[in-house]
Amino acid sequence: MKLHKLTFILLVIGGLNWLLAGLLQWEIGSIFGGQDALISRIIYILVGLSAVFELAKHKKSCAACAKVMPMQSK
């Protein structure tokens, strides 16, 4: 459960970063020295890995998806 919370927070940060980039042409990574800075690259990698993790685990942790009945095989 702690990993889910961490990945959720990182995905929110990533989403806000895209919002700022689209609206203001400014990225959060610029605080840390831009995209070429090691810390920025680490943050971008962690956000990307969080997306992969949540994508893989989504159906099990999503209340809305859990309500959908699975297809039955014949």
pLDDT one-digit tens code per residue, 17-52:
999 999 998 888 888 888 888 998 998 999 999 999
pLDDT one-digit tens code per residue, 45-74:
999 999 999 888 877 767 776 666 555 444
Check if the beta carbon of residue 4 is closer than 8 Å to that of residue 51.
no
- Residue 27 is which amino acid? E
Burial of 47 (0-12, 13-18, 19+ CB in 10 A): buried
Distance CA 3, CA 55 (A): 13
Helix (H/G/I), strand (E/B), else coil: 18? helix
pTM over cut 0.85: no
- Residue 56 is which amino acid? A
